[in-house]
Chain A
Amino acid sequence: MKALDNHDARRQSLAVKILLYALMTLVAVILIFPYAFMVSKSLMSHEEVVDPTIKLLPAVPLFSNYAELFSDSGYGMGFLHTFIIVGVNCVIIPLSASFIAFSFAKLDFIGKKVSFAVMLGTMMLPGAITQLSLFAIYAKLKWLNTFWPFIIPNLFGGGALYIFLIRQFMLGIPRDMDNAAKIDGANAFVRYWSIILPLCKPVLIYVVVNVFISYWGDYYGPLIYMRSSNAPKTLAQVVFESAVDENVATDMANIRMCGGVIMSVVPAILFAFFQKQLIEGVVLTGLKD
């Protein structure tokens, strides 16, 4: 009797398992479909994209579509401008944010708690409140249509979230490590630069990857601050403009999709390499309080 029960239970749990896998796979197919379709459509011919029948795959994948995309020099220059903004920010944000985080994690000063609370408070502020007057300020400084609005503000920490995350990480570094250096007479700068900073590598990687992804995909900043036709437009901005252009021919959808694929493939690759850090980071940023 007992053996039979066991057998039934095992059969039942196998059925549940198969059901779960089937459900998970179905959800995965549905969630991935649009992005797979974007890749497929980017390889279709001009005739195929306007074909009224359902076409999920191109008859012959046309990789030349990507060459056609880059024959428009706007995309090549967009790449260059994006890399300048992304490259500079991937250096200055981790440096300035960790410098500030060091003051919160490893130093004592009058007003520390107030400063920290004010910093966290800025995270709740809607972006529109500051953007409108920053636009007017940047216009007066002649910063519009230059890289400055995307670089100068980031010399001051690059946002409360990054500072907060690095501080959390620094708090986890044992006190003895920099106490020993303190006894040896090392000043705060030496302790920051040669002891604490190298130990922060994991969180710095998270910050760099996130800075990369957010500036890579940023279309709204350029939309506001780089409005002139001869501004150094970013790739996201060029793709955005191609997407919202209502006069463009429908048979050019394949070329537009190439732009979308290029925009997506870079974060997707970064995600593949750093998925563990990124997912854990999402959890950390979700628990900031």
Chain B
Amino acid sequence: MKNPSAKIKKLVRKSRTGWLFNLPLTVGILLFTFVPVIISLYDSFFSYDGLNERTWAGLNNFIRIFGGSESLHVSGDKEMKKIVVNTLVYTALSIPVNLIASYFLALLVNTALKGVSCYRVIYYLPCMIPAVASGLLWADMFDNTFGVFNKLLGFFGLGPYDFFKNEDLRAILSIVLMNMWSIGGGMILWLSAFKNIGKHYYEAAVLDGANAWDKLIHITIPMSSAMIFYNMIMSVIGTLQYNGTLTFGTRQGRGPENSLYMYGVKIYYEAFVRGKIGYASALAWVMLVVIAAITVVLFRTSGWVFYAEDNN
């Protein structure tokens, strides 16, 4: 009969091998995640350019982000208002438009027709194009004079439109339009969710005299709600950090009159163009808190999500 101390000894000995294999991860997370996270939190309370000495700034960086304070002699960041509006409008439009468009695309190819898998591959192909290439391409296609979009619109007597070169929110709308070409990514996720819905639900519905619309509303959408929820969370996290305007926007991704200027580019611009690592760190921490808060709210209000118990 084994005694307990021998058992513990054995577990410790086993642990040694396990930790040996796990060591690269632990060291990696410590060096390239924990240490930088703590340093950036620390930096957010300083005025710091990344190279020279830090100067204590207290909460000034944060006060600056939130509009400044006259009594404390901290001026507000005048760019912030437009950045916040742009980022919120982009998030509020882009996420629902993309989720719905890709959902309908997935419904369209969720059939057993011959060659349908070929169409799925074609729809996913634009998602494989690197951001630099598509940025280059869309800046060209949306050009006021030489762009093919305006030439085609001119053919029908419309336009010319400024697209990314608009000075108002229409610039943001152009990004939402451009994003329509990458709905294939969402489509793949929806298709996998549809595959997990048992056939018997549909068979039973047909017996009850349900038509295609009933099946969509009462079976497909509720049964894929877990994927809808997952997709929503990931989209919110990704969209709030979006800095893709760097590849197609003028003025280093900010656009004319800052019409394309969003939070992700703001962090980049403050840190690497203006050299204000301290202020950029404060911006990044505010973003982290906002993302965490939105995630918590989404989870708290996720009563509508239905988790299927058997996936077979």
Residue from B28, B140, B295 within 8 A of A41 (CB atoms)? B140
Smallest CB gap from A163: residue in B: B25
Residue in B14, B50, B108, B119 whose beta carbon sits within 8 Å of that of A108 in the complex: B14
Once the chains bind, are B248 and A31 in contact (CB under 8 Å)?
no
- Interface membership of A60, Cβ < 8 A: no
Say whether, besides A127-B241, A244-B246, A250-B146, A109 and B19 are in contact (CB < 8 Å).
yes
Distance (Å) between the CB of B115 and the closest chain A CB? 8
Q: How many CB-defined contacts (below 8 Å) exist between A and B? A: 276
Chain B interface residue count, CB cutoff 8 Å, equals 94
Residues on A with beta carbons closer than 8 Å to the beta carbon of B39 = 133, 136-137
Contact of A34 among B20, B26, B141, B271 (CB under 8 A): B141
Binding site secondary structure of chain B: helix
Residues in B whose Cβ lies below 8 Å from that of A261? 133
Within the complex, the shortest CB–CB distance from B213 to chain A, in Å, comes to 14
A157 in contact with B17 given A129-B37, A243-B139, A282-B188 (CB within 8 Å): no
Nearest CB in chain B to that of A251: its residue: B146
Interchain CB contact under 8 A, A110 and B11: yes
Contacts of B141 in A (CB 8 A): 34, 37
Q: How many chain A residues touch the partner (CB < 8 A)?
A: 95
Q: Is the CB of A188 within 8 A of B151?
A: no
Kindly identify, within residues 107 to 141 of chain B, every residue whose CB is under 8 Å from any CB belonging to chain A. 108-109, 111, 113, 116, 119-126, 128-141
Given contacts A31-B123, A34-B138, A34-B141, contact A239 B133 (CB under 8 A): yes
Task: Judge whether A119 and B29 touch: CB under 8 Å.
Answer: yes
- B residues within 8 Å of A by Cβ? 11-12, 14-22, 24-29, 31-33, 35-37, 39-40, 43, 50-51, 105, 108-109, 111, 113, 116, 119-126, 128-141, 145-146, 148, 151-152, 155, 181, 184-185, 188-189, 192, 227, 230-231, 237, 241, 243, 246-248, 250, 252, 264, 267-268, 271-272, 277, 280-281, 283-285, 287-288, 291, 295
Taking Cβ atoms with an 8 Å cutoff, the residues of A that contact B are 17, 20-21, 23-25, 27-28, 31-32, 34-35, 37-38, 41, 49-50, 52-54, 56, 96, 99-100, 102-104, 107-112, 115, 118-119, 122, 124-137, 139, 153, 155-157, 163, 187-188, 192, 213, 216-217, 219-220, 223-224, 227, 236, 239-240, 242-244, 246, 250, 253, 256-257, 259-261, 263-264, 267-268, 270-271, 275, 279, 282-283, 286-287, 289
